[in-house]
Each structure stands twice: as structure tokens, then as C-alpha cells.
């Protein structure tokens, strides 16, 4: 059986403005934080988000409960709840309940483009040193692909993960974001003799979902509901094109 990569294999990664999770909790059994929500290493579908929580948030979690791994999804984070609801609505996956996820056998893997944890006062802090942190994260995404033998489709959650993949797999992923979302376009890239498909949807924060509605001219009190409908349509068409 071939070696699998875990977070501990990347304890050497350092970029100014970021911290490494291994500094406070060595990751011997996990590679990405949100595996605790969608962590099926046999999945055909991967959701690629921008980054996990900021370092300060996870450090606080560890201080509250020193025996529990802080490198996990935020249960109260709307982005995760909205994403869970959208994926469940496609009826492609066995996700379990949000409060008790079927993480290891759900059919989805949840990864981050930027693996290091930004130093900021909030989870929504902007990326700094983007070129350097993208470069540092390349080896993690390649290790992620290596781990996921059955992976066929990557769905980027918002603009930055799409730009990250364009940077890693130069000259293979084409188009501009959000055009690829609105046209529900699938890109392809090859890595180590295997072909992967790439689709993209808007970020599943409330703001991102409302922005999806705004792109189609829907503004007002019902824009979140309309955005959810459009995001679901986007996912379903991506899955159809990918022949899932």
C-alpha cells in the first residue's frame, strides 16, 4: 500500500503572515482541516475552498480543549452549513446530518487551496503574501491528489481557489472567474498521467450566495433564496457534465 500524506509531512512550510498547524498540534492523521465534515479519501469529488480558519481561532479552540484536535471545520460557520445543504440537495452523496456528519464515507473530500493558517483577527481576513503562500501550498495540493485515488472532479469554492489551480497547473485551466461559473464550464488538467475535471461555484457564505443571485439580476429580500437555487443548478449541471 502506497504512503499517504498527512499534515505532519508539511511541518516545514513557512510563509510570513501565516502559521503552521503543526506548531500547536501535530497532524499525524489528517491533511486538511475540513476532513471532519467531508473527509472521504475514496471520494470522486473534492471541494476546494480558499483557506481554513485563521490561526488565532484554532489556537483559541485548543486552549479551550487541549485534548481535542483544533484542526477541524467550524460547526457554526455558515459557509459549511450552506455547502452541506447544497450538496445534500443534489442527492449525490450520503453526508449524514450536519451535526453528525458521515465524513469518512460521504463521497466528498473538503480541502483548502491555502494550507497554512493566516494570522488575522477574524476567519474572513484577507490573504497576504498570496504569491508566496500559493507557491508553498502547491506541494500540499499535489499530495492531496496523490492521496485521493478515485478523484475525478474538483469544485473550487469561489475565486481564489480557481486562481490557485490556474497557478499550479499553468496553461491547462482556462477562462476567467466568474465567467466559468456563469457558463458552468468544466476545465481539465493532467497530473502524473491522470486527468482531472475542474468546475467552480460561488463561495457558499451568505454573501457569496447573494452575490450569485446578483449576477443574474436578482436583488432584494429574496436574493439569498434565489442564490441558493442558482448554486444548486450550477452544481447539478457540473455533475451532469462530469457524468457523475
Buried-exposed string 185-206: b where 16+ CB fall within 10 A, e elsewhere: ebbebeeeeeebbbbbbbbbbe
Cα–Cα distance between 51 and 39 in angstroms, integer? Answer: 16
Q: Is residue 13 part of a domain?
A: no
| Domain span at 121 | 33-241
Distances (CA, A) of 102 to 44, 51, 94, 115, 240: 16, 22, 7, 23, 24
Question: Residue 90: its pLDDT value, please?
Answer: 97
Q: Are 200 and 155 in contact (CB under 8 A)?
A: yes
The count of structural domains within the chain is 1
The CATH number for 188's domain is 3.40.470
Instruction: With respect to residue 68, please indicate whether it lies within any of the assigned structural domains.
Output: yes
Residue 215 counted as domain residue:
yes
User: Phi and psi for 188 in degrees, rounded to 5?
Assistant: -135, 145
- 99 closest CA partner among 62, 70, 136, 73: 73
| Dihedral of the alpha carbons of 126, 152, 38, 105, in degrees to the nearest 10 | -170
Residue 25 included in any domain: no
pTM of the complete model = 0.96
Report the chain (244 residues): mean pLDDT per 10 consecutive residues: 90 97 96 97 98 93 94 91 98 96 98 96 86 98 98 97 96 94 96 97 96 95 96 98 95
Rounded CA-CA distance 110/37 in Å is: 8
Q: By CB neighbour count within 10 A (0-12 exposed, 13-18 middle, 19+ buried), where does 90 fall? A: middle
Burial label, 99 (beta-carbon count in 10 A; 0-12, 13-18, 19+)? exposed
Q: What's the pLDDT score for residue 1?
A: 58
For 55, half-sphere exposure in the C-beta direction (CA atoms, 13 angstrom radius) is 18
First to last CA, the chain: 27
58 within some domain = yes
Q: Is residue 15 part of a domain?
A: no
Identify the H or E element spanning 116: none
Considering the domain boundaries, does residue 16 fall inside one? no
How far apart are the C-alpha atoms of 51 and 74, rounded to whole Å? 12
Instruction: Examine residue 183 and state whether it is found in any structural domain, yes or no.
Output: yes
Q: At what angle do helices 78-90 and 206-215 cross, to 10 degrees?
A: 60
Q: Are 87 and 234 in contact (CB under 8 A)?
A: no
Amino acid at each position: 500500500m502506497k504512503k499517504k500524506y498527512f499534515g505532519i509531512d508539511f511541518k516545514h512550510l513557512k510563509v510570513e503572515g501565516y502559521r503552521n498547524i503543526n506548531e500547536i498540534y501535530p497532524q499525524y492523521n489528517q491533511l486538511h482541516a475540513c476532513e471532519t465534515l467531508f473527509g472521504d479519501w475514496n471520494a470522486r469529488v473534492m471541494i476546494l475552498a480558499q483557506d481554513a480558519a485563521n490561526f488565532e481561532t484554532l489556537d483559541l479552540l485548543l486552549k479551550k480543549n487541549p485534548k481535542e484536535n483544533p484542526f477541524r471545520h467550524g460547526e457554526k460557520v455558515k459557509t459549511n452549513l450552506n455547502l452541506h445543504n447544497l450538496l445534500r440537495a443534489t442527492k449525490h452523496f450520503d453526508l449524514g446530518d450536519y451535526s453528525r456528519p458521515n465524513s469518512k464515507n460521504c463521497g466528498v473530500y473538503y480541502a483548502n487551496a491555502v494550507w497554512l493558517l493566516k494570522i488575522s483577527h477574524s476567519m474572513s481576513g484577507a490573504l497576504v503574501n498570496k504569491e508566496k503562500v500559493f507557491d508553498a501550498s502547491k506541494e500540499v495540493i499535489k499530495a492531496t491528489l496523490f492521496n485521493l485515488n478515485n478523484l475525478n472532479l474538483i469544485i473550487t469554492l469561489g475565486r481564489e481557489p480557481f486562481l490557485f489551480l490556474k497557478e499550479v497547473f499553468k496553461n491547462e485551466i482556462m477562462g476567467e472567474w466568474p465567467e466559468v461559473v456563469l457558463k458552468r464550464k468544466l476545465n481539465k488538467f493532467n497530473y502524473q498521467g491522470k486527468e482531472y475535471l475542474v468546475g467552480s461555484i460561488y463561495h457558499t457564505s451568505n454573501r457569496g450566495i447573494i452575490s450569485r443571485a446578483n449576477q443574474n439580476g436578482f436583488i432584494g429580500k429574496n436574493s439569498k433564496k434565489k442564490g441558493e437555487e442558482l448554486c444548486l443548478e450550477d452544481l447539478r449541471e457540473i455533475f451532469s457534465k462530469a457524468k457523475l
